[in-house]
Amino acid sequence: MLKSNFQIQRHDYVSIASLAQQISSLASQITSYLSSNAHPEPSFEVGGGVVPVSAEYEALRVPLNDAALDLLRLINGPRNTLRNFLFSHYDLASLQVALDRRFFHHVPLYDSDNGDGAGNKATITEVAEKAGMDENRTGRVLKMLSTHRIFEQVPGEPDTFRHTASSALLARDADFHAMADMQMDDMIKATSETSTMITSSPLAADHQNHSAFHQRFGIPLYLYLEQHPYKAKRFAQAMSSWSQIDRQITDLSNSYTWGSLGKGTVVDVGGGSGHISIALARQFPSLRFVVQDISHHMLSHAESSELGGRVTFQQHDFFQPQPVRGASVYLVRQVLHNYNDADSVKILAALVPALEVRPSATRLLINDIVLPDSHSGGVTSKYEEHHLRQVDFCMMVALGAKQRSQFEFDQVLKRADKRFEIVNVWRNPLGIGLVEVRLASAV
Ligand SMILES: C[S@@+](CC[C@H](N)C(=O)[O-])C[C@H]1O[C@@H](n2cnc3c(N)ncnc32)[C@H](O)[C@@H]1O
Protein backbone atom coordinates (compact mmCIF):
# COMPACT_ATOMS: atom_id res chain seq x y z
CA MET A 1 0.00 0.00 0.00
CA LEU A 2 1.39 3.37 -0.91
CA LYS A 3 1.23 6.75 0.79
CA SER A 4 -1.02 9.44 -0.58
CA ASN A 5 1.68 11.44 -2.26
CA PHE A 6 2.59 8.52 -4.52
CA GLN A 7 1.66 9.27 -8.10
CA ILE A 8 2.32 7.26 -11.19
CA GLN A 9 2.77 9.25 -14.36
CA ARG A 10 0.24 8.45 -17.03
CA HIS A 11 1.93 8.30 -20.41
CA ASP A 12 0.35 9.01 -23.74
CA TYR A 13 1.98 6.41 -25.91
CA VAL A 14 2.20 7.58 -29.46
CA SER A 15 3.91 5.12 -31.71
CA ILE A 16 4.17 1.39 -32.26
CA ALA A 17 7.95 1.67 -32.14
CA SER A 18 8.08 3.53 -28.81
CA LEU A 19 5.60 1.11 -27.23
CA ALA A 20 7.59 -1.88 -28.51
CA GLN A 21 10.75 -0.34 -27.07
CA GLN A 22 9.13 0.14 -23.65
CA ILE A 23 7.77 -3.39 -23.68
CA SER A 24 11.15 -4.78 -24.58
CA SER A 25 12.91 -2.79 -21.87
CA LEU A 26 10.33 -3.66 -19.18
CA ALA A 27 10.31 -7.33 -20.20
CA SER A 28 14.09 -7.56 -19.82
CA GLN A 29 13.92 -5.83 -16.43
CA ILE A 30 11.30 -8.40 -15.39
CA THR A 31 13.52 -11.25 -16.57
CA SER A 32 16.45 -9.83 -14.58
CA TYR A 33 14.23 -9.35 -11.52
CA LEU A 34 13.05 -12.95 -11.72
CA SER A 35 16.52 -14.36 -12.09
CA SER A 36 18.07 -12.18 -9.38
CA ASN A 37 15.31 -13.30 -6.99
CA ALA A 38 15.67 -16.95 -8.03
CA HIS A 39 12.04 -16.90 -9.11
CA PRO A 40 11.15 -19.36 -11.85
CA GLU A 41 10.06 -17.85 -15.18
CA PRO A 42 6.22 -17.92 -15.32
CA SER A 43 4.68 -20.40 -17.75
CA PHE A 44 1.19 -21.48 -18.79
CA GLU A 45 1.75 -24.96 -17.43
CA VAL A 46 0.14 -26.27 -14.28
CA GLY A 47 2.23 -24.97 -11.41
CA GLY A 48 3.91 -22.42 -13.67
CA GLY A 49 1.63 -19.46 -13.06
CA VAL A 50 3.08 -18.01 -9.89
CA VAL A 51 4.34 -14.45 -10.25
CA PRO A 52 6.18 -12.46 -7.57
CA VAL A 53 4.11 -10.26 -5.26
CA SER A 54 6.32 -7.28 -4.48
CA ALA A 55 6.36 -3.53 -5.01
CA GLU A 56 9.37 -3.90 -7.35
CA TYR A 57 7.59 -6.42 -9.55
CA GLU A 58 4.42 -4.29 -9.63
CA ALA A 59 6.46 -1.28 -10.73
CA LEU A 60 7.45 -3.27 -13.84
CA ARG A 61 4.28 -5.30 -14.40
CA VAL A 62 1.88 -2.34 -14.37
CA PRO A 63 3.54 -0.14 -17.02
CA LEU A 64 4.18 -3.24 -19.14
CA ASN A 65 0.43 -3.89 -19.11
CA ASP A 66 -0.30 -0.30 -20.13
CA ALA A 67 2.20 -0.45 -22.97
CA ALA A 68 1.26 -3.94 -24.20
CA LEU A 69 -2.47 -3.23 -24.17
CA ASP A 70 -1.99 0.05 -26.00
CA LEU A 71 0.27 -1.62 -28.57
CA LEU A 72 -2.44 -4.20 -29.28
CA ARG A 73 -5.10 -1.46 -29.56
CA LEU A 74 -2.92 0.46 -31.99
CA ILE A 75 -2.02 -2.43 -34.24
CA ASN A 76 -5.55 -3.89 -34.21
CA GLY A 77 -7.29 -0.57 -34.83
CA PRO A 78 -10.66 0.46 -33.36
CA ARG A 79 -12.79 -1.88 -35.47
CA ASN A 80 -10.96 -5.07 -34.43
CA THR A 81 -10.46 -3.86 -30.86
CA LEU A 82 -14.14 -3.04 -30.38
CA ARG A 83 -15.28 -6.20 -32.11
CA ASN A 84 -13.26 -8.22 -29.64
CA PHE A 85 -14.60 -6.19 -26.72
CA LEU A 86 -18.21 -6.45 -27.90
CA PHE A 87 -18.07 -10.22 -28.12
CA SER A 88 -16.46 -10.77 -24.73
CA HIS A 89 -19.75 -11.84 -23.10
CA TYR A 90 -19.55 -15.04 -25.14
CA ASP A 91 -16.17 -15.76 -23.57
CA LEU A 92 -17.71 -15.17 -20.15
CA ALA A 93 -20.63 -17.45 -21.05
CA SER A 94 -18.18 -20.29 -21.69
CA LEU A 95 -16.63 -19.70 -18.27
CA GLN A 96 -20.10 -19.56 -16.74
CA VAL A 97 -20.95 -23.01 -18.16
CA ALA A 98 -17.60 -24.45 -17.05
CA LEU A 99 -18.14 -23.19 -13.49
CA ASP A 100 -21.80 -24.23 -13.33
CA ARG A 101 -21.01 -27.74 -14.57
CA ARG A 102 -17.77 -28.00 -12.52
CA PHE A 103 -15.49 -28.61 -15.51
CA PHE A 104 -12.46 -27.61 -13.44
CA HIS A 105 -12.96 -30.65 -11.25
CA HIS A 106 -13.65 -33.05 -14.11
CA VAL A 107 -10.16 -32.79 -15.63
CA PRO A 108 -7.59 -34.42 -13.32
CA LEU A 109 -4.69 -32.33 -12.12
CA TYR A 110 -1.02 -33.28 -12.40
CA ASP A 111 -1.23 -33.94 -8.65
CA SER A 112 -3.26 -37.06 -9.30
CA ASP A 113 -0.91 -38.26 -12.03
CA ASN A 114 0.35 -41.76 -11.41
CA GLY A 115 3.61 -41.03 -13.19
CA ASP A 116 2.78 -42.30 -16.68
CA GLY A 117 1.22 -39.04 -17.81
CA ALA A 118 -2.16 -40.70 -18.27
CA GLY A 119 -3.85 -39.26 -15.21
CA ASN A 120 -3.70 -35.60 -16.03
CA LYS A 121 -6.08 -35.28 -18.96
CA ALA A 122 -9.68 -35.99 -19.93
CA THR A 123 -11.50 -36.49 -23.20
CA ILE A 124 -14.48 -34.35 -24.15
CA THR A 125 -16.64 -37.46 -23.68
CA GLU A 126 -15.38 -37.92 -20.11
CA VAL A 127 -15.88 -34.26 -19.19
CA ALA A 128 -19.36 -34.25 -20.78
CA GLU A 129 -20.37 -37.33 -18.84
CA LYS A 130 -19.23 -35.90 -15.51
CA ALA A 131 -20.78 -32.52 -16.31
CA GLY A 132 -24.08 -34.12 -17.27
CA MET A 133 -24.32 -32.39 -20.64
CA ASP A 134 -23.88 -33.15 -24.33
CA GLU A 135 -20.46 -33.69 -25.90
CA ASN A 136 -20.90 -31.11 -28.65
CA ARG A 137 -21.37 -28.13 -26.33
CA THR A 138 -18.85 -29.48 -23.82
CA GLY A 139 -16.20 -29.47 -26.54
CA ARG A 140 -17.13 -25.97 -27.69
CA VAL A 141 -16.83 -24.63 -24.13
CA LEU A 142 -13.43 -26.28 -23.65
CA LYS A 143 -12.17 -24.98 -27.01
CA MET A 144 -13.37 -21.46 -26.29
CA LEU A 145 -11.68 -21.44 -22.87
CA SER A 146 -8.51 -22.86 -24.40
CA THR A 147 -8.19 -19.70 -26.52
CA HIS A 148 -7.62 -17.94 -23.17
CA ARG A 149 -5.19 -20.61 -22.00
CA ILE A 150 -7.80 -21.88 -19.57
CA PHE A 151 -7.38 -25.63 -20.28
CA GLU A 152 -5.47 -26.73 -23.37
CA GLN A 153 -5.79 -29.43 -25.97
CA VAL A 154 -3.25 -32.18 -25.51
CA PRO A 155 -0.88 -32.06 -28.52
CA GLY A 156 -1.75 -34.79 -31.01
CA GLU A 157 -5.01 -35.59 -29.16
CA PRO A 158 -7.51 -32.99 -30.37
CA ASP A 159 -10.45 -34.24 -28.29
CA THR A 160 -8.47 -34.46 -25.08
CA PHE A 161 -7.82 -31.59 -22.67
CA ARG A 162 -5.57 -30.94 -19.73
CA HIS A 163 -5.13 -28.20 -17.18
CA THR A 164 -3.12 -25.03 -17.59
CA ALA A 165 -1.96 -22.70 -14.80
CA SER A 166 -5.28 -20.79 -14.96
CA SER A 167 -7.63 -23.78 -15.01
CA ALA A 168 -5.55 -25.45 -12.27
CA LEU A 169 -6.00 -22.36 -10.07
CA LEU A 170 -9.77 -22.76 -10.37
CA ALA A 171 -9.50 -26.49 -9.64
CA ARG A 172 -7.28 -26.11 -6.60
CA ASP A 173 -8.33 -22.92 -4.87
CA ALA A 174 -11.86 -23.31 -3.47
CA ASP A 175 -12.12 -19.66 -2.41
CA PHE A 176 -10.98 -18.37 -5.81
CA HIS A 177 -13.44 -20.77 -7.45
CA ALA A 178 -16.18 -19.33 -5.21
CA MET A 179 -15.30 -15.81 -6.32
CA ALA A 180 -15.37 -16.83 -10.00
CA ASP A 181 -18.62 -18.72 -9.48
CA MET A 182 -20.29 -15.77 -7.76
CA GLN A 183 -19.25 -13.40 -10.54
CA MET A 184 -20.33 -15.73 -13.34
CA ASP A 185 -23.61 -16.62 -11.62
CA ASP A 186 -25.57 -13.90 -9.83
CA MET A 187 -23.33 -10.97 -10.71
CA ILE A 188 -23.20 -11.52 -14.46
CA LYS A 189 -26.97 -12.01 -14.51
CA ALA A 190 -27.46 -8.79 -12.55
CA THR A 191 -24.92 -6.88 -14.64
CA SER A 192 -26.85 -7.56 -17.83
CA GLU A 193 -29.73 -5.57 -16.29
CA THR A 194 -27.69 -2.41 -15.71
CA SER A 195 -28.96 -0.38 -18.61
CA THR A 196 -32.56 -1.61 -18.12
CA MET A 197 -32.36 -0.56 -14.49
CA ILE A 198 -31.16 2.92 -15.45
CA THR A 199 -33.91 3.20 -18.06
CA SER A 200 -36.52 2.28 -15.45
CA SER A 201 -35.27 4.94 -12.99
CA PRO A 202 -32.85 7.19 -14.84
CA LEU A 203 -32.43 9.75 -12.05
CA ALA A 204 -32.54 7.52 -8.94
CA ALA A 205 -28.85 6.92 -8.47
CA ASP A 206 -27.28 5.43 -5.38
CA HIS A 207 -29.93 3.24 -3.88
CA GLN A 208 -29.93 -0.52 -3.50
CA ASN A 209 -33.54 -0.73 -4.69
CA HIS A 210 -32.34 0.89 -7.90
CA SER A 211 -29.47 -1.51 -8.42
CA ALA A 212 -29.21 -3.92 -11.33
CA PHE A 213 -29.11 -6.73 -8.75
CA HIS A 214 -32.47 -5.63 -7.37
CA GLN A 215 -33.81 -5.31 -10.92
CA ARG A 216 -32.75 -8.91 -11.66
CA PHE A 217 -33.58 -10.68 -8.38
CA GLY A 218 -36.30 -8.46 -6.89
CA ILE A 219 -34.57 -8.01 -3.51
CA PRO A 220 -31.37 -6.36 -2.21
CA LEU A 221 -28.17 -8.42 -2.33
CA TYR A 222 -27.74 -9.01 1.41
CA LEU A 223 -31.37 -10.04 1.88
CA TYR A 224 -30.94 -12.44 -1.04
CA LEU A 225 -27.84 -13.92 0.62
CA GLU A 226 -29.78 -14.38 3.87
CA GLN A 227 -32.39 -16.33 1.94
CA HIS A 228 -29.81 -18.52 0.15
CA PRO A 229 -27.35 -19.96 2.71
CA TYR A 230 -25.28 -21.68 -0.01
CA LYS A 231 -24.77 -18.33 -1.73
CA ALA A 232 -23.96 -16.62 1.59
CA LYS A 233 -21.24 -19.22 2.13
CA ARG A 234 -19.95 -18.69 -1.41
CA PHE A 235 -19.95 -14.93 -0.81
CA ALA A 236 -17.91 -15.33 2.41
CA GLN A 237 -15.41 -17.52 0.54
CA ALA A 238 -15.27 -15.01 -2.32
CA MET A 239 -14.52 -12.17 0.12
CA SER A 240 -11.77 -14.26 1.66
CA SER A 241 -10.23 -14.95 -1.76
CA TRP A 242 -10.52 -11.30 -2.74
CA SER A 243 -8.56 -10.36 0.38
CA GLN A 244 -5.68 -12.63 -0.72
CA ILE A 245 -5.35 -10.79 -4.03
CA ASP A 246 -2.91 -7.91 -4.17
CA ARG A 247 -1.68 -8.58 -0.65
CA GLN A 248 -4.67 -6.92 0.99
CA ILE A 249 -4.07 -8.45 4.41
CA THR A 250 -0.32 -7.88 4.23
CA ASP A 251 -0.92 -4.30 3.17
CA LEU A 252 -3.39 -3.74 5.98
CA SER A 253 -1.06 -5.18 8.60
CA ASN A 254 1.96 -3.27 7.23
CA SER A 255 0.33 0.10 6.72
CA TYR A 256 -1.03 0.70 10.21
CA THR A 257 0.91 0.59 13.49
CA TRP A 258 -1.12 -2.25 15.01
CA GLY A 259 1.74 -3.17 17.33
CA SER A 260 1.52 0.21 19.07
CA LEU A 261 -2.03 -0.55 20.23
CA GLY A 262 -0.70 -2.87 22.94
CA LYS A 263 -3.54 -4.85 24.50
CA GLY A 264 -6.14 -2.75 22.71
CA THR A 265 -9.41 -3.90 21.22
CA VAL A 266 -10.19 -3.75 17.52
CA VAL A 267 -13.85 -3.82 16.54
CA ASP A 268 -14.26 -5.26 13.04
CA VAL A 269 -17.55 -3.65 12.02
CA GLY A 270 -19.35 -5.72 9.35
CA GLY A 271 -16.45 -8.15 9.64
CA GLY A 272 -18.19 -11.07 7.88
CA SER A 273 -16.55 -14.39 8.66
CA GLY A 274 -13.81 -12.64 10.64
CA HIS A 275 -11.01 -13.65 8.27
CA ILE A 276 -9.30 -10.27 8.54
CA SER A 277 -9.43 -10.13 12.34
CA ILE A 278 -8.19 -13.70 12.58
CA ALA A 279 -5.23 -12.92 10.28
CA LEU A 280 -4.38 -9.77 12.28
CA ALA A 281 -4.80 -11.60 15.61
CA ARG A 282 -2.27 -14.21 14.49
CA GLN A 283 0.21 -11.46 13.70
CA PHE A 284 -0.40 -9.22 16.72
CA PRO A 285 -0.70 -11.49 19.78
CA SER A 286 -1.61 -8.75 22.30
CA LEU A 287 -4.62 -7.42 20.42
CA ARG A 288 -8.22 -8.51 20.98
CA PHE A 289 -10.82 -8.46 18.21
CA VAL A 290 -14.60 -8.24 18.22
CA VAL A 291 -16.02 -9.28 14.83
CA GLN A 292 -19.49 -7.86 14.32
CA ASP A 293 -21.90 -8.76 11.54
CA ILE A 294 -25.65 -8.71 11.08
CA SER A 295 -25.64 -12.06 9.35
CA HIS A 296 -25.59 -15.18 11.45
CA HIS A 297 -24.70 -17.06 8.22
CA MET A 298 -21.53 -14.98 7.94
CA LEU A 299 -20.69 -15.42 11.60
CA SER A 300 -21.38 -19.14 11.35
CA HIS A 301 -18.67 -19.39 8.65
CA ALA A 302 -16.22 -17.85 11.06
CA GLU A 303 -13.29 -20.20 11.61
CA SER A 304 -13.14 -21.82 14.98
CA SER A 305 -10.03 -20.14 16.13
CA GLU A 306 -6.98 -21.30 18.01
CA LEU A 307 -6.51 -17.75 19.26
CA GLY A 308 -7.49 -18.31 22.87
CA GLY A 309 -10.62 -16.21 22.83
CA ARG A 310 -8.86 -13.12 21.48
CA VAL A 311 -11.28 -13.08 18.54
CA THR A 312 -14.93 -13.00 19.55
CA PHE A 313 -18.04 -12.68 17.42
CA GLN A 314 -21.09 -10.53 17.98
CA GLN A 315 -24.26 -10.08 15.97
CA HIS A 316 -24.76 -6.36 15.47
CA ASP A 317 -26.50 -4.07 12.98
CA PHE A 318 -24.05 -1.28 12.14
CA PHE A 319 -26.91 1.19 11.63
CA GLN A 320 -27.54 0.91 15.38
CA PRO A 321 -25.33 2.62 18.01
CA GLN A 322 -22.00 0.82 18.42
CA PRO A 323 -22.22 -1.33 21.59
CA VAL A 324 -18.43 -1.66 22.18
CA ARG A 325 -17.36 1.73 23.53
CA GLY A 326 -13.86 3.16 23.73
CA ALA A 327 -12.03 0.52 21.65
CA SER A 328 -8.65 1.36 20.13
CA VAL A 329 -9.77 0.88 16.54
CA TYR A 330 -13.07 0.59 14.72
CA LEU A 331 -12.21 -1.14 11.46
CA VAL A 332 -14.78 -0.60 8.73
CA ARG A 333 -13.57 -2.76 5.91
CA GLN A 334 -15.32 -3.07 2.55
CA VAL A 335 -18.54 -1.89 4.11
CA LEU A 336 -19.05 1.77 3.11
CA HIS A 337 -18.59 0.90 -0.57
CA ASN A 338 -21.82 -1.11 -0.19
CA TYR A 339 -23.83 2.01 0.62
CA ASN A 340 -24.95 5.28 -0.89
CA ASP A 341 -23.85 8.48 0.80
CA ALA A 342 -26.96 8.82 3.01
CA ASP A 343 -26.59 5.31 4.46
CA SER A 344 -22.79 5.66 4.81
CA VAL A 345 -23.41 8.80 6.87
CA LYS A 346 -25.76 6.79 9.16
CA ILE A 347 -23.17 4.00 9.62
CA LEU A 348 -20.45 6.52 10.49
CA ALA A 349 -22.72 8.50 12.82
CA ALA A 350 -23.61 5.29 14.72
CA LEU A 351 -19.91 4.98 15.63
CA VAL A 352 -19.50 8.49 17.04
CA PRO A 353 -20.63 7.82 20.65
CA ALA A 354 -18.17 4.89 20.83
CA LEU A 355 -15.32 7.07 19.53
CA GLU A 356 -16.18 9.86 21.97
CA VAL A 357 -15.30 7.72 25.01
CA ARG A 358 -11.51 7.88 24.44
CA PRO A 359 -11.21 10.17 21.42
CA SER A 360 -7.46 10.71 21.60
CA ALA A 361 -6.77 6.95 21.79
CA THR A 362 -9.34 5.79 19.27
CA ARG A 363 -9.15 5.62 15.50
CA LEU A 364 -11.64 4.83 12.82
CA LEU A 365 -9.95 2.91 9.99
CA ILE A 366 -11.78 2.75 6.68
CA ASN A 367 -10.26 -0.06 4.64
CA ASP A 368 -11.65 0.43 1.15
CA ILE A 369 -10.54 1.35 -2.33
CA VAL A 370 -9.53 5.02 -2.50
CA LEU A 371 -10.33 6.14 -6.03
CA PRO A 372 -8.18 8.71 -7.78
CA ASP A 373 -9.83 12.06 -8.44
CA SER A 374 -8.94 15.59 -9.41
CA HIS A 375 -9.40 16.95 -5.83
CA SER A 376 -7.24 14.53 -3.91
CA GLY A 377 -5.03 13.09 -6.67
CA GLY A 378 -3.84 9.52 -6.73
CA VAL A 379 -3.37 9.27 -10.48
CA THR A 380 -2.91 5.69 -11.52
CA SER A 381 -2.05 3.93 -14.75
CA LYS A 382 -4.89 2.99 -17.09
CA TYR A 383 -4.36 -0.64 -16.16
CA GLU A 384 -4.68 0.13 -12.45
CA GLU A 385 -7.56 2.53 -12.87
CA HIS A 386 -9.40 -0.11 -14.90
CA HIS A 387 -9.26 -2.50 -11.91
CA LEU A 388 -10.56 0.18 -9.57
CA ARG A 389 -13.33 1.18 -11.97
CA GLN A 390 -14.40 -2.47 -12.32
CA VAL A 391 -14.88 -2.70 -8.57
CA ASP A 392 -16.69 0.64 -8.54
CA PHE A 393 -19.06 -0.69 -11.21
CA CYS A 394 -19.51 -3.87 -9.19
CA MET A 395 -20.84 -1.73 -6.33
CA MET A 396 -23.22 0.12 -8.66
CA VAL A 397 -24.57 -3.16 -10.06
CA ALA A 398 -24.77 -5.06 -6.76
CA LEU A 399 -26.00 -2.37 -4.41
CA GLY A 400 -26.55 0.95 -6.17
CA ALA A 401 -23.46 2.01 -4.24
CA LYS A 402 -19.93 3.17 -5.05
CA GLN A 403 -16.24 3.34 -4.26
CA ARG A 404 -15.00 6.74 -3.09
CA SER A 405 -12.07 9.08 -3.48
CA GLN A 406 -10.41 10.74 -0.46
CA PHE A 407 -12.46 13.85 -1.19
CA GLU A 408 -15.70 11.84 -1.22
CA PHE A 409 -14.77 10.04 2.04
CA ASP A 410 -14.14 13.42 3.62
CA GLN A 411 -17.57 14.62 2.50
CA VAL A 412 -19.50 11.69 4.00
CA LEU A 413 -17.42 11.82 7.20
CA LYS A 414 -18.15 15.53 7.67
CA ARG A 415 -21.85 14.93 7.05
CA ALA A 416 -21.81 12.27 9.80
CA ASP A 417 -19.96 14.51 12.26
CA LYS A 418 -18.09 17.73 11.61
CA ARG A 419 -15.34 16.63 14.01
CA PHE A 420 -14.32 13.70 11.83
CA GLU A 421 -10.91 14.39 10.34
CA ILE A 422 -8.83 12.30 7.95
CA VAL A 423 -5.31 12.07 9.38
CA ASN A 424 -3.69 9.71 6.91
CA VAL A 425 -4.41 7.95 3.64
CA TRP A 426 -2.63 4.91 2.27
CA ARG A 427 -3.40 4.42 -1.39
CA ASN A 428 -3.19 1.14 -3.22
CA PRO A 429 -3.32 1.63 -6.99
CA LEU A 430 -4.46 -1.96 -7.50
CA GLY A 431 -6.93 -2.37 -4.69
CA ILE A 432 -7.91 -1.57 -1.17
CA GLY A 433 -6.38 1.42 0.59
CA LEU A 434 -6.70 2.71 4.13
CA VAL A 435 -8.13 5.96 5.49
CA GLU A 436 -7.25 6.79 9.11
CA VAL A 437 -9.79 9.03 10.81
CA ARG A 438 -10.16 10.60 14.26
CA LEU A 439 -12.55 12.90 16.03
CA ALA A 440 -10.74 16.23 15.85
CA SER A 441 -11.80 17.29 19.37
CA ALA A 442 -9.34 14.62 20.48
CA VAL A 443 -6.40 16.87 19.79
C1 LIG B 1 -18.56 -6.75 1.67
S2 LIG B 1 -18.71 -7.64 3.16
C3 LIG B 1 -17.21 -7.20 4.00
C4 LIG B 1 -16.82 -8.23 5.00
C5 LIG B 1 -15.46 -7.95 5.69
N6 LIG B 1 -15.43 -6.65 6.34
C7 LIG B 1 -14.34 -8.04 4.68
O8 LIG B 1 -13.71 -7.04 4.39
O9 LIG B 1 -14.11 -9.13 4.15
C10 LIG B 1 -19.91 -6.68 4.03
C11 LIG B 1 -20.37 -7.32 5.31
O12 LIG B 1 -21.34 -6.46 5.93
C13 LIG B 1 -22.32 -7.29 6.52
N14 LIG B 1 -23.54 -6.48 6.74
C15 LIG B 1 -24.48 -6.11 5.84
N16 LIG B 1 -25.40 -5.34 6.43
C17 LIG B 1 -25.03 -5.21 7.75
C18 LIG B 1 -25.58 -4.51 8.85
N19 LIG B 1 -26.68 -3.77 8.73
N20 LIG B 1 -24.93 -4.59 10.02
C21 LIG B 1 -23.79 -5.32 10.15
N22 LIG B 1 -23.24 -6.03 9.13
C23 LIG B 1 -23.84 -5.95 7.93
C24 LIG B 1 -22.51 -8.41 5.53
O25 LIG B 1 -23.12 -9.55 6.12
C26 LIG B 1 -21.06 -8.66 5.10
O27 LIG B 1 -20.44 -9.64 5.90
The model's pLDDT over 5-24, given as tens digits with 9 standing for 90+, comes to 334 445 555 799 999 999 99
pLDDT at 225 over 70: yes
Task: Give pTM, 2 decimals.
Answer: 0.83
CB 190 within 8 A of CB 216: yes
pLDDT at 9: 46
pLDDT band at 403 (very low <50, low <70, confident <90, very high): very high
pLDDT value at 143 more than 90 = yes
Please give the share of the chain, as a percent, with pLDDT higher than 90.
Answer: 72
> Which pLDDT does position 207 carry in this prediction?
66
* 337 part of the active site: yes
Identify any residues that bridge with 314 across adjacent strands, giving them in sequence order.
Answer: 292
> Ligand 1: distance of its center to the CA of 343 in Å?
14
- Ligand 1 atom 26 nearest Cα: 272
In angstroms, rounded to a whole number, what is the distance separating the alpha carbons of residues 432 and 202?
30
Q: pLDDT grade, residue 305 (50/70/90)?
A: low
Ligand 1 pocket list (CB less than 6 A): 222, 239, 243, 270-272, 276, 293-295, 298, 316-319, 333-335, 338
Q: Based on the number of CB atoms within 10 Å of its own CB, is 208 exposed (0-12), middle (13-18) or buried (19 or more)?
A: buried
Model pLDDT, residue 7: 41
pLDDT at 238 over 50: yes
pLDDT score recorded for residue 420 = 97
Render the burial of 147-156: b for 16+ CB within 10 Å, e for the rest.
eeebbbbeee
- Residue 333 C-alpha to ligand 1 middle, in angstroms? 8
* Prediction ipTM score: 0.99
Mean pLDDT across the chain: 89
Q: Report pLDDT for 246.
A: 55
Catalytic residue among 337, 375, 386, 387: 337
Handedness of CA 259, 364, 299, 174 (dihedral sign): negative
Query: Whose alpha carbon is nearest atom 5 of ligand 1?
Result: 271
The Å distance, Cα 248 to ligand 1 centre, comes to: 17
pLDDT at 119: 72
pLDDT score, position 2: 39
pLDDT of 21-80, one tens digit each?
A: 999 999 999 999 999 999 999 999 998 989 998 889 999 999 999 999 999 999 999 999
Q: Indicate which residue's Cα is closest to atom 10 of ligand 1.
A: 335
Ligand 1 atom nearest to CA at 297: 25
Task: Tell me the C-alpha distance between 207 and 341, whole Å.
Answer: 9
Confidence of residue 270 (pLDDT cuts 50, 70, 90): very high
**Centroid of ligand 1 to alpha carbon of 247 (angstroms):** 20
Indicate which residue's Cα is closest to atom 12 of ligand 1. 270
Task: Place 298 in a pLDDT band, splitting at 50, 70 and 90.
Answer: low
Query: Does the pLDDT at position 345 exceed 80?
Result: yes
Residue 161: the pLDDT is: 97
Mean pLDDT, residues 307-318: 91
If one residue of 277, 295, 322, 333 were mutated to test the ligand 1 pocket, choosing by the most ligand atoms within 8 A of its CB, it would be 295
Run of H or E residues at 178: helix 174-182
Q: If you measure from the C-alpha of residue 368 to the centroid of ligand 1, how many angstroms do you get, rounded to a whole number?
A: 13
Average pLDDT score over residue span 338-366:
95
- Report d(CA 304, CA 287) in Å as an integer: 18
